[in-house]
């Protein structure tokens, strides 16, 4: 087996033991990128020379003893990096060079990681399929005629295809968990405030959170431990100590209780999703984890609430792309108003425009109370559902999506259908709680084995417990 198909933890341990050099490893991943990226389009930029130079330094003893010394990773292209461009998959900031590096990326580099490049995403992280990317859609490595899921599809596809050992993504309404599920990898969205958002280009600031991709639960635990923790320039980041997530993931699950929410066992689920849930429950029971039924009655309002809150915040956050401060400016503009309007008309894609219009509408006087304010109230009810449920159990198990990845182009003309892909992921962001998607089952469609994700949701800042239960499921496979 190639190193590129092993887990991040295996790669890390092999590097530390001297069983492989960072140079050979980086060359291996670069070779894989050369072979697979032209079709999959996971990377927008690859930092070949820099990665090789860093690998040489690691092989000469740099970063010795650090947790990620020599481990090759990929970064979603909405995380600012001083190296290369930060485009967010948008023509608007195609040539934007950030003056600073996002805290999460900086922490990875301080831990000795080697960043191989920046991965493609739906424009400004708005989407569920990765088809809204100005640099072309990302393809699913399990079946290149299908979408990888969005918006962190590039990161998920890069991990799944062995083009990096692990990756960072961002999750506002499911953008880590959905692509992880559809590409067959592990994706973890931490609690709101667990990881600093400093340097993450804002989409919906009350929902956005940086998270990680790996091949197994240990990979996710290791990466989370490195990027978590407070940062003085981000007041929304919680000043809480960071536990040893890897050690916590290996503790006994005895005495823990897992909840099944009946609202997630919908008839809309693919039969293979129902079977995956049954297998999961059997595995938990076999490991001594009690299974209890819980109810999250406001679940059906999640999608409408999310698409009001996120569009409202997006319309405000994206006002900064005005053709004046940075990024694209229309050459055809004759006056100041045209600088704004033509710039935005020419450089934003259709989905971003739709979100800005929806968001402006729900915030406008006369509609604010009926839409935005009401959505905030429902958001509170959704959070209270989880608070009540977590009084009865330690985590909730549910599917990540109702079915496997769909064909490229299949939902492009139907925004509502596209939004409904997030039905099982958005409530987690609205409540600010952590969620993880694990490779669940596979389902055979047209001769291809397509992955499905099993999702675990936990109480706020209880990532350690979530990881422990995730390992129970993974270990039973």
What positions carry a catalytic annotation?
Answer: 76, 151, 175
Query: Which of 430, 443 has the CB closer to ligand GLN?
Result: 430
Q: Are 126 and 203 in contact (CB under 8 A)?
A: yes
**Contact positions with ligand GLN (CB under 6 A) in 381-440:** 422
Does 175 participate in binding ligand GLN (rule CB under 6 A)? yes
Q: Are 262 and 299 in contact (CB under 8 A)?
A: no
Query: Which of 343, 427 has the CB closer to ligand GLN?
Result: 427
Residue 159: CB minimum distance to ligand GLN, A: 17
Does 308 participate in binding ligand GLN (rule CB under 6 A)? no
Question: Of 166-174, 323-331, 402-410, 450-458, which part binds ligand GLN (CB under 6 A)?
Answer: 166-174
Query: Which of 140, 151 has the CB closer to ligand GLN?
Result: 151
Angle between the N-to-C axes of helices 302-317 and 374-389, in degrees from 0 to 180, rounded to the nearest 10: 130
Does 310 participate in binding ligand GLN (rule CB under 6 A)? yes
Q: Residues near 267 by Cβ (< 8 Å), separated by ≥ 6?
A: none
Residue 330: CB minimum distance to ligand GLN, A: 26
Smallest Cα–Cα separation from 116: which of 199, 33, 182?
33
Residue 433: CB minimum distance to ligand GLN, A: 15
Dihedral sign, CA of 442, 444, 446, 452? negative
Does 172 participate in binding ligand GLN (rule CB under 6 A)? yes
Beta partners for residue 356, in sequence order = none
Binding mask 109-148 for ligand GLN (x = CB under 6 A): ----------------xxxx--------------------
Question: Of 1-9, 88-96, 168-176, 268-276, which part binds ligand GLN (CB under 6 A)?
Answer: 168-176
Does 211 participate in binding ligand GLN (rule CB under 6 A)? no
Residue nearest to ligand GLN (CB): 175
Q: Are 64 and 127 in contact (CB under 8 A)?
A: no
Does 173 participate in binding ligand GLN (rule CB under 6 A)? yes
Query: Which of 175, 343 has the CB closer to ligand GLN?
Result: 175
Residue 361: CB minimum distance to ligand GLN, A: 16
Among 119, 130, 151, 455, binds ligand GLN (CB under 6 A): 151
Does 87 participate in binding ligand GLN (rule CB under 6 A)? no
Q: Residues near 193 by Cβ (< 8 Å), separated by ≥ 6?
A: 236, 237, 238, 432, 461
Question: Which run of H or E residues covers position 272?
Answer: helix 271-286
Does 169 participate in binding ligand GLN (rule CB under 6 A)? no
Question: Which run of H or E residues covers position 203?
Answer: none
Q: Are 350 and 121 in contact (CB under 8 A)?
A: no
Q: What does residue 101 show for φ and ψ, rounded to 5 degrees? A: -105, 140
Q: Which two tokens stand for residue 89?
A: 């998959």
User: How many helices, marked H, and strands, marked E, lie in the chain?
Assistant: 16, 11
Residue 437: CB minimum distance to ligand GLN, A: 12
Residue 400: CB minimum distance to ligand GLN, A: 12
Query: Which of 46, 102 has the CB closer to ligand GLN?
Result: 102
Residue 313: CB minimum distance to ligand GLN, A: 11
Contacts with ligand GLN by CB under 6 A: the residue count is 13
Q: Own/partner pairs for 354-360, CB < 8 Å, 24+ apart?
A: 354/415, 355/126, 355/310, 355/311, 355/314, 355/315, 355/318, 356/311, 356/314, 356/315, 356/318, 357/315, 358/307, 358/308, 358/311, 358/315, 359/310, 359/311, 359/312, 359/313, 359/314, 359/315, 359/316, 360/315
Query: Which of 127, 253 has the CB closer to ligand GLN?
Result: 127
Does 305 participate in binding ligand GLN (rule CB under 6 A)? no
Binding site for ligand GLN (CB under 6 A): 125-128, 151, 171-175, 203, 310, 422
């Amino acid at each position: 087996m190639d190193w590129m198909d092993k887990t991040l933890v295996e790669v890390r341990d092999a590097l530390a033991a001297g069983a492989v050099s960072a140079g050979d490893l980086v060359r291996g991943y670069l070779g894989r990128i050369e072979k697979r990226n032209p079709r999959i389009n996971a990377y927008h930029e690859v930092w070949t020379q820099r990665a090789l130079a860093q690998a040489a330094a690691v092989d000469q003893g740099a970063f010795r003893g650090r947790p990620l010394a020599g481990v090759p990773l990929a970064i979603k292209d909405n995380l600012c990096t001083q190296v290369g461009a930060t485009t967010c998959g948008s023509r608007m900031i195609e040539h934007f060079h950030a003056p600073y590096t996002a805290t999460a990326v900086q922490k990875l580099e301080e831990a000795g990681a080697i960043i191989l490049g920046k991965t493609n995403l739906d424009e400004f992280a708005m989407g569920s399929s990765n088809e809204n990317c100005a640099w072309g859609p990302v393809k699913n490595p399990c079946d290149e005629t299908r979408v990888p899921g969005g918006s962190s599809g590039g990161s998920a596809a890069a991990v799944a295809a062995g083009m990096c050992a692990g990756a960072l993504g961002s999750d506002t309404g499911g953008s880590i968990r959905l692509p992880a599920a559809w590409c067959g990898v592990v994706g973890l969205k931490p609690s709101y405030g667990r990881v600093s958002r400093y340097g993450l280009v804002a989409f919906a600031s009350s929902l956005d959170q940086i998270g990680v991709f790996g091949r197994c639960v240990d990979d996710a635990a290791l990466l989370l431990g490195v990027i978590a923790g407070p940062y003085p320039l981000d007041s929304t980041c919680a000043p809480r100590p960071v536990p040893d997530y890897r050690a916590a993931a290996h503790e006994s699950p005895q005495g823990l209780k897992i909840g099944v929410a009946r609202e997630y066992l919908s008839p809309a689920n693919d039969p293979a999703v129902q079977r995956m849930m049954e297998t999961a429950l059997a595995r938990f029971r076999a490991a001594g984890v009690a299974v209890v039924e819980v109810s999250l009655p406001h679940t059906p309002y999640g999608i409408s609430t999310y698409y009001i809150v996120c569009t409202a915040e997006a319309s405000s956050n994206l006002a900064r792309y005005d053709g004046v401060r940075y990024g694209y400016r229309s050459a055809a503009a004759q006056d100041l108003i045209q600088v704004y309007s033509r710039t935005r008309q020419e450089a934003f894609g259709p989905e971003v425009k739709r979100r800005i219009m929806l968001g402006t509408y729900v915030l406008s006087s006369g509609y604010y109370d009926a839409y935005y304010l009401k959505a905030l109230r429902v958001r509170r009810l959704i959070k209270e559902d989880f608070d009540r449920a977590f009084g009865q159990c330690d985590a909730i198990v549910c599917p990540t999506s109702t079915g496997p990845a769909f064909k490229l182009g299949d939902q492009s003309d139907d925004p509502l259908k596209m939004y409904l892909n997030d039905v099982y992921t958005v409530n987690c962001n609205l409540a600010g709680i952590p969620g993880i998607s694990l490779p669940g089952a596979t389902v055979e469609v047209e001769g291809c084995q397509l992955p499905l994700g099993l999702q675990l949701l936990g109480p706020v800042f209880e990532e350690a417990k979530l990881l422990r239960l995730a390992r129970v499921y993974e270990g039973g496979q």
